[in-house]
Amino acid sequence: MRFHLDTMREFGNYALTEHQFAQLIGRARLYQYLPPAQKKAITPLNFNDGQCNAIARDYYTDKSFCRDQNGDINLWKLYGLFTGANKSSYIDTFLDRSVNAFSFTEGLLQALEHNSEASWFLS
């Protein structure tokens, strides 16, 4: 539990540029169509196109979790966008997507620190 909280605190210390965010959204939409072998080598993302659209929309419009004046968004706010988009999930996928939002954001943190499986989403 402590690890989880410490990691969430770290989310506020890392940010994506607007370019990286746009790259992330584009790659997120491509992810579901990757060949299975390539998909296995990448951090899983369990969000569908509609939810990715909600994340992109809220990047500009969400009062609590939108980008800053420079277009950057810290990982805490990005995590907030993912959990907000997850609200539209059916009950049978809600918990899995909640866990995935955390692990995916953690993977992005690792990608920003050094190369990781989530780097594909930012490259």
Contact (Cβ atoms closer than 8 angstroms) between residue 97 and residue 47? yes
Q: Which SS3 state, helix, strand or coil, does residue 106 take? A: helix
pLDDT tens-digit map of 16-64: 999 999 999 999 999 999 999 999 999 999 999 999 999 999 999 999 9
d(Cα 20, Cα 93) in Å, to the nearest integer?
Answer: 27
With bands split at pLDDT 50, 70 and 90, how would you rate the model's confidence at 13?
Answer: very high
pLDDT tens-digit map of 72-107: 999 999 999 999 999 988 888 899 999 999 999 999
